[in-house]
């Protein structure tokens, strides 16, 4: 299978979907967001899937969508969920079918982007005076566990301090 897709990986809140959309526009390629595809397939939001079916069910759907996307013959820009590379079969499918870009972002910058969003069940922290410290710690711990997988990317770009459009433009030169 020839490498033809462009996959964006990185932690929740790194900007994979926004940057991916800009990059797809610049390259004139279709854009796919695996979370959105899962939501379409299951007919529920990611949050409701986690709440009603559990994480293991979500991961099964995620691996299936990755398999389908990776087998698509025409090139696409694909924003992966932040945990998609954890599945070894998905990791293989992704690297075999495309180049992988890691959108690197620091825990504090991630915190700023996710703090007011209710989209991500893995980052749910109840309102409390030390909510920020708890959430930053959660992000640091999870990032540490996952970064080895992110760092296997073909291209690594530090996206902090840049707008999504600027990151996409920088990527155009790198890919
Ligand atoms: C997850 C990331 C989310 C979504 C789900 C789980 C993760 O996607 O797939 O909430 O395990 O990192 P984003 O990275 O697009 O937020």
pLDDT at 117: 85
pLDDT at 129: 86
Strand order in the sheet with 77-79: 31-33, 77-79, 5-9, 98-104, 155-158
Task: Residue 38: name the closest of 20, 65, 15, 17 by CA.
Answer: 65
| Mean pLDDT across the chain | 96
**Which residue puts its alpha carbon closest to atom 8 of ligand 1?**
81
State the average pLDDT over residues 80-87: 98
Distance (Å) of CA 155 to CA 67, 152, 158: 22, 9, 10
pLDDT at 53: 97
Q: Which atom of ligand 1 is nearest the CA belonging to 13?
A: 16
DSSP secondary structure letter of residue 1 = -
**Which residue puts its alpha carbon closest to atom 11 of ligand 1?**
83
Instruction: Tell whether domain 5-105+148-174 is in CATH 3.40.50.300.
Output: yes
Ligand 1 binding pocket mutation candidate from 120, 159, 164 (most atoms within 8 A of CB): 120
Q: Which atom of ligand 1 is nearest the CA belonging to 146?
A: 12
130 has a pLDDT exceeding 70: yes
User: CA torsion sign, 157 to 144 to 119 to 70?
Assistant: positive
Alpha helices in 43-87 (DSSP H): 46-53, 55-71
Can you say which residues are annotated as belonging to the binding site for ATP? 13-18, 120
CB atoms within 10 A of CB 63: 18
pLDDT at 41: 97
**CB-based burial label for 136 (10 Å; 0-12, 13-18, 19+):** middle
**pLDDT (tens digit per residue) in 96-106:** 999 999 999 99
Cβ–Cβ under 8 Å, residues 151 and 135: no
Domain coordinates of the chain in residue numbers? 5-105+148-174
Our answer on whether the CB atom of 20 is closer than 6 Å to any ligand 1 atom is no
DSSP secondary structure letter of residue 58 = H
Q: Which atom of ligand 1 is nearest the CA belonging to 120?
A: 10
């Amino acid at each position: 299978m020839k490498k033809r897709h462009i996959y964006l990986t990185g932690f929740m809140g790194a900007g994979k979907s926004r940057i991916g959309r800009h990059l797809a526009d610049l390259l004139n390629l279709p854009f796919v967001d695996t979370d959105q595809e899962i939501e379409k397939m299951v007919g529920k939001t990611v949050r409701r899937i986690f709440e009603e079916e559990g994480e293991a069910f979500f991961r099964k759907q995620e691996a299936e969508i990755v398999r389908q996307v990776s087998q698509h013959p025409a090139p696409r820009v694909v924003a992966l969920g932040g945990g998609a590379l954890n599945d070894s079969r998905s990791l293989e499918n992704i690297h075999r079918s495309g180049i992988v870009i890691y959108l690197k972002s620091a825990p504090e910058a991630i915190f700023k982007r996710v703090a007011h969003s209710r989209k991500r069940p893995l980052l749910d922290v109840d309102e409390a005076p030390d909510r920020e410290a708890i959430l930053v710690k959660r992000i640091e711990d999870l990032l540490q566990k996952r970064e080895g997988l992110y760092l296997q990317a073909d291209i690594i770009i530090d996206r902090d301090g840049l707008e999504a459009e600027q990151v996409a433009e920088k990527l155009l030169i790198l890919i």
